[in-house]
Amino acid sequence: MSKKWFNKTLILSGVSILAGLFAAWAAREYIQDKVHQLEKEAQVKTVKRVVAAYDLPEGTRIEAVHVAVRDIPEAWVVSGSLEPEAFVQMEGQVVTTALKRGDPVLWANMARAGSAPFSAKINPGRRAITIPVDAINSVSGMLVPGDLIDLYVSFEYRKRQITAPLLQGVLVMATGRQSRSGLP
């Protein structure tokens, strides 16, 4: 009886050990599968963009040493940001807005080297003003830098609506981001 009991105990112990090993293996496989699944979900698609390698003050002439290429998450890419292949077109241009280290280099923040600032196009003693307009009031985009326009004001006087000339022959210096470099 003691031998029979010993065999049953040995078999039962062996089965228990095998069941424990199988359970440990199954748990390990499950955990590894979950880790791989979470890593796959956490992967973010990135694209390469040109960024400032260090702080660049306004007026800096852009050269290759001023920039670096970084992987930026696709969802965070700003329109107008520069792909590394397009940098050759921007090299030599001047920074118009100071950039901090890591800021993306944008076409909107650059100007051709040697181009005068907009304020240099205004004659001494004169002033430029901005007049907000929408597509309807701007003659559907047909107004261009260099045009001469008349400005009118409308007001109510003695319960009558009056429209009168305010300024005549006003020079349009810019529309949107477009300006004409040859303006006096």
Over 80: is that where the pLDDT of 53 sits? Answer: yes
Domain ranges of the chain: 1-42, 46-111, 118-179
pLDDT digits (tens, 9 = 90+) for 6-20: 788 888 899 999 999
Closest CA to 179 of 127, 136, 130, 118: 118
The chain-wide mean pLDDT, for the chain, equals: 85
> Could you tell me the pLDDT band of residue 103, with boundaries at 50, 70 and 90?
very high
Closest CA to 131 of 183, 181, 170, 182: 170
Q: Which CATH number fits domain 46-111: 3.90.1210.10, 3.20.20.70, 3.40.50.150, 3.40.1160.10?
A: 3.90.1210.10
Closest CA to 182 of 124, 115, 111, 126: 115
Place of tokens 């240099």: 120
Kindly report whether the global pTM for this prediction surpasses the value 0.75: no
